[in-house]
A and B are shown apart, each in its own frame.
Chain A
Amino acid sequence: MRLIAFVTVALLAASAPALAQHENHAAPPSGRGQTKIWTATPMALGRPAGRAEAIAMTANMEVDTLAVIAPDGTRSDLSPENTQARIKPKSGNYHLVLAQGRAGGGMVNAVSAVYFSNPGPAPSKILSNPPAGLMLLPERLPREHSHFRSGDSVRFRLTADGNPLPGMPVQVETANGTHQKLSTDLDGWVKVSFPADFPPVDQRPEEGHGRPLTAGFVASARLNTGAEPRLASFAYAYGPNPLDKASPAFGAGFALLGMAFALPLILRRKPKGAA
């Protein structure tokens, strides 16, 4: 009996990282409430639809295939209806949405990510082993309880059939109107810094029910060599810097006030009769 209990506990301990996954606190894959067209770049998007489903969409491209790639690398083709398809996750939290098609006379590989509060593997494997074709993927996606934020920097890697492409131009556009032109380094990496381009705090829409304000961005790279042009894009979302609406100095002030309250308690009283 004790052996069975021990084995059960050992198995539970081994599986705890997967079992202990919980709520979706990663950023949604596109800016909340943004309906206006802010880019002509072909994009794939994934929008959460409830706790166990998401909707895959595309923009600015004609789609040949739409697929979802689970963190273990399993690819499932989706059947789009009216340019949208429902995603039901396999195991693991982040799934990639991959749309392949055409735009502007060239071939397009457009990728996004969607987060589910599912137990299972991390997306490290699919991000470090890009699918075939021209791909632009981030080095990492936000952790649970975190988001990409204005001021953060994230590296993206441009690859063709898994091989890094050095010295290639990469364009970044945000739904808030920022355009950046960057270039990949010798290993195909490009560092993208999310701009502080959100409206002033008093002009921002209200955040509801724990859903933070976010804006969409798309990073893209065009390769004009070969028989026909090719384009890779990655679209996701970022949020404003949390310190826009909060003050570390005032926070430190409250901490110092707490310290002042405790100060009399740590000083030793002089013994009676002492000079």
Chain B
Amino acid sequence: MSPFTMIRLRPWVQALSFLFLVWGAGFVGHYSADKISGALPALSCAYDQENSAYCVLVPIQHQLHHRVGEALVKMQTITATVFLPLAFTLLSFLAFFVVLNKAFCGWLCPLGTAQEALFAIGQRFDLAFRRVPVAWRPKVSSIKWLVLALAIFALPLISGMGALPHTFRDPWCQVCPSRVLTTLASGDVTQLALPLGGDVSQFVFVALRDLGFGFGAIFALSFRQPFCRICPMLALHALLRKVAPLRLAKKASARCDKCGLCTKACPMDIDAIHREHGAKAFTGDCTLCGRCVAFCPEDGTLSVRLGPLPLVSSSAQSFALMTRRQSPEGKPKPVPKGSVKGAG
């Protein structure tokens, strides 16, 4: 498959995945047991009652809270009944993850798809284009690790031990924008609704969720994948990315020094694709969207591989076709003069 074909195929896969993950209960069945998985490596929200699968982050938080945290407090014997559910969840996640690696982010995640669609709309209407300044990129990239450590592992465990309110049982889910997006998409406004009275922490969580959702929905018109930068799912993927055979590969090339189109095309602003080669070019932030491959003008320098097998390789021909349609940053052609900040 040529990179150009891949880039044209991806929105269709994303659209079908969005339909299936947000409204797919009619196909797979109503109950959790009918779902494709309760440990999917994509942000398909468990609070969406019409979905066909839901993401791994919910059970991890709940199992740490309900089982591990509570068991530690009660000083019960730490038995298989405590850790087995968590192990099963992680193994289920791993089983899915190994098939597609981080392509769950770039090809299947409903939130990722919605952000890409918004960015395409924003650029079609010639809104500003923004990216993370080069000096900030390492710091921004590290936020997702903090979110994974705190929101997915530490806070649910501490809440299960009774040191935090019960609302901290799943702090990421409390603020996850996918929870608002996918429930609204299935006609349910309860996850958007602000609690009136009751627990203050619940009010704060929902207010943050709605604020974040609103901010991201607009910011995504100008900035590629704003939520993905801090997503703990991306961090979880990054932890395990080396166990999966599907990956981005780069051959060293002297011409790369003068180019850098791959980084410009990358929706996650990854510098390493340009500066590194070999295994180092495939970083924790990559979502395997393939844009860097499509915008690489040199035959075979960048490729998406399944083990030793190249699935898609960069080519001058695909580069020519891609650049006829849009700029590496995603502006549809013709690019208005001066519209890309820092270009030229």
Contacts and interface: CB of A to CB of B under 8 A. Distances in A.
Interface string A92-126: 11100000000000000000000001011111100
A269 B207 CA distance: 30
Interface string A1-34: 0000000011011011111111100000000000
Given A140-B30, A254-B194, 19 more contacts: A15-B92, A16-B36, A17-B34, A19-B89, A21-B32, A71-B33, A140-B31, A250-B194, A252-B192, A255-B211, A255-B213, A255-B214, A255-B217, A258-B210, A258-B216, A265-B130, A265-B218, A265-B222, A266-B222
A143 B28 CA distance: 13
B218 A122 contact: no
B211 A257 contact: yes
Contacts of B62: 22-23
Given A261-B215, A266-B222, A268-B339, A22 B194 contact: no
Nearest to A23: B62
Interface of A: 9-10, 12-13, 15-23, 51-52, 71, 92-94, 117, 119-124, 140-141, 143-146, 201, 209-210, 242-243, 245-248, 250-263, 265-269, 271
B334 to A, nearest CB: 17
A246 B193 contact: yes
Contact of A52 (B81, B89, B194): B81
Contact of A22 (B63, B122, B166, B223): B63
B210 A17 contact: no
B145 interface: no
Contacts of A124: 29-31, 34
B240 interface: no
A91 B222 CA distance: 49
Contact of A20 (B66, B92, B193): B92
Interface residues of B, number: 67
A269 to B, nearest CB: 7
B193 A13 contact: no
Interface stretch (B16-24, B134-142, B147-155, B195-203): B195-203
A120 B92 contact: no
Contacts of A141: 31
B38 A20 contact: yes
Contacts of B338: 271
A247 B59 contact: no
A259 to B, nearest CB: 4
A22 B58 CA distance: 9
B30 A143 contact: yes
Contact of B49 (A146, A242, A248): A146
